[in-house]
Chains A and B, each alone.
Chain A
Amino acid sequence: MDKNEYDVIIVGGGITGAGTQRDCAMRGLRTLLIERSDIATGATGRNHGLLHSGARYAVNDPESAEECIRENRILRSIAAHCIDETDGLFITLPEDDLAYQKTFVEACRKAGIDAEIIDPDLARRLEPAVNPDLIGAVRVPDGGVDPFRLCAANMLDAKLHGGQVRLHTEVTGFIRHGDTVVGVRTRNLTTGVAEDFYAPVIVNAGGIWGHGIAELAGVHVGMYPAKGALLVFAHRVNNMVINRCRKPANADILVPGDTVCIIGTTSTRIPFEECDTVAVTPEEVTLLITEGAKMAPVLSSTRILRAYAGVRPLVSADDDPTGRNISRGIVCLDHETRDGLKGLITITGGKLMTYRLMAEIATDAVCRKLHIDKACETATTPLPGSEERSYEAVARKIWEAPSMAQKAAAARMGTSAARIQTGDHLDEALICECEEVSVGEVNDAIERLDATTLTDLRRRTRIGMGTCQGEFCACRAAGLLAKASGCVERERNGIADFMQERWKGNFPIGWGDTLREAEYTQWVYKHVLGL
């Protein structure tokens, strides 16, 4: 067999692509995943990181709500190390209509979501950061999910099942035999090397870029890019997700995620050309802070770390050419039945937290095409790292008296943290001091998780995500990358790219301590390190 032949090629390394590759690989298929940039660079890594209970959709979109709660329960058991089981509150503020609470709770119960009306006093005790003026509160099983970790774990498991991954590789075109797509032409964006890959089925999992990928194959997918802006606060002010109990609107979800908390989002239709360069506007920043402070007043005086925006891949229903009827549900298109183009499937729509179901639907479609009859096992098989439910148990199993960094590693890597227990003191030295990431953990991401740049490392380990935004870790991690790649010059340039990318997120909220720190970082890199 040709080394470039596979059973299925997945285009797109977001959570949908990674999840689909895992599912396909677990069903015994020879898989290749191709990603233009790095894993989780699109909408996957640019959202709240909210493990929806489904409550947000219960009133308007019961189908999505049911999907969410089902997947919510599944992810808790298969992706424990990516999940933060915080629970969530839907709060009613004095300016909201308390009558909506009843509609909301009924809709939740109908969808199978445990929604419990609690006394505002209890809500204040459970979540001290919540606006004390609240007049109603409902407790729901919301949580946090780390999209980077989830994506990396899916990719890793696909690889453990024989899958191959090509990151920083762009699909430049499709190879067609008549009405059948038989392969993809690619170019490695780091080396410039062009290569062709063949498979009887190709899955387009490109998120919003799936629109362009489909065009390459000559088919049209009606997508509508909607920008959503978010703000990252520098520490966790809340330990429960806080939502507004009203019709979903702008900036009404505050999610605690690892060491930070995130407020979002906005929703603005943008043209396709802007998908690669979305920036957060001052108006969006003001809106996010203003609305955020209504849910947790302390946000008005809490340091902001970054602003960022993602693009939701909204899909218009196929029978509605006007595009008005936009669904947030899962869309799986078999281009053979839809457009007469064999060998191509598009999986899109959906949400971060329904990725597994999307992957299952896509893989079922792949298997049908390949006449393979194998059941999906992703709902019951834990991801690598998630074999234990709690990071406490993980840390104590690996280390007798775990340090803060070892505990942090256990929380990030789950049971995979055992891999960095080498007994070598050098491996325990810290690369990132804000998030407590050790040399061992960074090396593991380079060796096992396909990280080749500082930004790749950030997504896998959280280096550069803390308050110093790369001030200390960038140069240290670059040293490890240089050791691995053997190219000092490339990694030196990589530092500049990385710091530029960090500044992009600091810029829209560039005031106060964040500006002070950015200034200090600039001194360090420019004047001390001479970059």
Chain B
Amino acid sequence: MKLQEYTESKYNFEECMKCTICTAYCPVLQVNPLYPGPKQAGPDGERLRLKDPFFFNYALKYCLNCKRCEVACPSGVKVADLIQSARIRYDHSKPKLRDRILASTDFMGSLARPFAPMVNGVTKMGVTKAVLDGTMKIDKNRTFPKYSGRSFEAWLKRQAPAQAAFPEQVAYYHGCYVNYNYPQLGKDLVKVLNALGVGVQLLDKEKCCGIAMITNGMSQQATRHARHNVAVIGAAAAKGLKVVTTSSTCTLTLRDEYPGLLGVENQVVRDSLLMATRFIYEKLEKGAQLRFRPDFHKRIAYHTPCHLEKLGWGIFSEKLLRMIPGVEFTMLDSNCCGIAGTYGFKKENYAASQAIGAPLFEQIRNVNPDVVACDCETCKWQIEMSTQYPVANPISILAEALE
């Protein structure tokens, strides 16, 4: 190599020109003065941390990991990765019981599912919320996602022979939310894909993507999940299957956070892994047809989740929704909803979380749509709780509009 032909640094931190655009785009900085901001917490702080981990600042925990700083950065600095990897490397405080519970979406889902009606009833009660608020510091204003009595996996297993009959096949990484909380989204995907002549298979026992573990100080567990998921997705990819997803955050985690933050190499599966919206859009582009109900009419406001913006794939959801006859489409302004997975559930973050989402909520109220469309489950909880408008995944809207 020629000397100084190019320069490199971890997560490109040396490429930072201090333009401060990331700081202007950071949703947290605007509502929480305790947060040093992405430039400070990321490339600036990295130089000090390289000198001595002592310079690690615990205020980095206020980072949402929304990645908006990375989208904004004109120099290609992986600002959010710098911040999250610093937390992984230097924050040695043990995760609290609350954080463990919030992060273990998979485990909690399998515990709660058999007792779903009871669990849903209990978590709805004011007294439960007050207790959780007092003991666990989970904010009492939060609405908890409901658990489903039957898992999506159990449902799809029964459909397996019928699905296998389709000439084309995909594997579906459904994630915890579809499996334990809202199997309907998975069923909607199966309906849409079947309409395109595509059958849906499960992966060989997927695990939670682990994003909540990463952000809650449990990166070792997350790494174990990552290795497992890369293996099972790799097995599907080896059979020539595309692996589709319906959650933007799971997708970002599987594709980018595994190699970027956990050091789990996923190059062999990365190209096989994509959002179902992209898969469907590409099929339609190639000439596949979907037949829509003639009487379908909906005013839809679409919110692009931050992680989908990072993936650059919001365009596919938008295009699909605009394609449905009878849809009046409004693109909402790019604005973080503020929940960022488990972040907004924490009592200390609740106020900031709501303040971040406020402009989005206000715009939704002004647009007054029939439904808000969004590819992220936690955005859905946040928007439904904060605006009372129903939120649906674009896949569910597609399914509903099909003949």
Contact = CB atoms under 8 A, between A and B. Distances in A.
Interface in A389-446: 391-392, 401, 403-404, 407-408, 411, 430, 433-434, 436
B14 A235 contact: yes
Contact of A467 (B3, B4, B18, B19): B18
A303 B9 contact: yes
A203 to B, nearest CB: 36
Contacts of A467: 14, 16, 18, 47
A289 B47 contact: no
A215 interface: no
A466 B17 CA distance: 11
Contact of A301 (B4, B45, B46, B57): B4
A471 B17 CA distance: 9
Contacts of A408: 48, 55
Nearest to A390: B54
Given A301-B4, A301-B6, A434 B45 contact: no
A61 to B, nearest CB: 32
A304 interface: yes
Contact of A434 (B15, B47, B50): B47
A449 B105 CA distance: 56
A279 B1 CA distance: 28
Contacts of A471: 18
Contacts of B19: 520
B138 to A, nearest CB: 23
B47 A301 contact: no
B22 to A, nearest CB: 12
Interface in A251-298: 256, 258-259, 286, 289-290, 293
B45 A300 contact: no
A236 interface: yes
A91 B54 CA distance: 28
Nearest to A516: B17
Contacts of A466: 44, 47
Given A290-B3, A403-B36, A467-B18, A302 B9 contact: yes
B5 A301 contact: yes
A301 B50 CA distance: 17
A236 B3 contact: no
Nearest to A404: B57
Interface in B38-64: 39-40, 44-48, 50-52, 54-59
Counting chain A CB atoms within 10 Å of each CB, which of B1, B6, B44, B50 scores highest? Answer: B44
Counting chain B CB atoms within 10 Å of each CB, which of A235, A408, A468, A516 scores highest? Answer: A235
Interface string B307-325: 0000000000000000000
A520 B17 contact: yes
Contacts of B51: 236, 239, 256, 258-259
B4 A512 contact: yes
A301 B48 contact: no
A472 interface: yes
B366 interface: no
A304 B6 CA distance: 11
B18 A303 contact: no
B8 interface: yes
B76 to A, nearest CB: 11
Nearest to A519: B17
Contacts of A302: 7-9, 14
A404 B36 contact: yes
Contacts of A430: 40
Contacts of B4: 289, 300-301, 304, 511-512
Contacts of B48: 259, 404, 407-408, 436
B6 A403 contact: no
A407 B55 contact: yes
A513 interface: yes
Contact of A259 (B3, B40, B50, B56): B50
A340 B56 CA distance: 60
Contacts of B54: 391-392, 407
A295 B15 CA distance: 24
Contacts of B14: 234-235, 302-303, 467, 513
B45 A404 contact: yes
Contact of A517 (B7, B17, B44, B58): B17
A304 B9 CA distance: 12
Contacts of A433: 18, 39-40, 44
A472 B18 contact: yes
A436 B59 contact: no
A471 B1 CA distance: 32
A235 B18 contact: no
Nearest to B5: A301
Nearest to B19: A520
Contact of A293 (B3, B47, B55, B58): B3
A434 B13 CA distance: 12
Contacts of B56: 404
A517 B4 CA distance: 16
Nearest to B18: A468
Contacts of B9: 235, 302-303
Contacts of B13: 235
Interface in B228-283: none
B57 A403 contact: yes
A33 B223 CA distance: 61
Given A303-B9, A472-B18, A403 B47 contact: no
Contacts of A289: 3-4
A418 to B, nearest CB: 18
A145 to B, nearest CB: 15
A239 B52 CA distance: 9
A471 B20 CA distance: 12
Contacts of B17: 468, 513, 516-517, 520
Contacts of B1: 300-301
A350 B91 CA distance: 44
A407 B40 CA distance: 14
Interface of A: 234-236, 239, 256, 258-259, 286, 289-290, 293, 300-304, 391-392, 401, 403-404, 407-408, 411, 430, 433-434, 436, 466-468, 471-472, 511-513, 516-517, 520
10 contacts: A289-B3, A300-B4, A302-B9, A303-B9, A403-B57, A404-B36, A404-B56, A434-B18, A513-B17, A520-B19
Give 6 nearest A-B pairs by CB, closest first: A404-B57, A303-B14, A468-B18, A259-B47, A303-B7, A300-B3
Given A236-B51, A293-B3, A467-B18, 12 more contacts: A301-B6, A301-B7, A302-B7, A303-B14, A391-B54, A401-B58, A404-B45, A411-B52, A467-B14, A467-B16, A512-B4, A513-B17
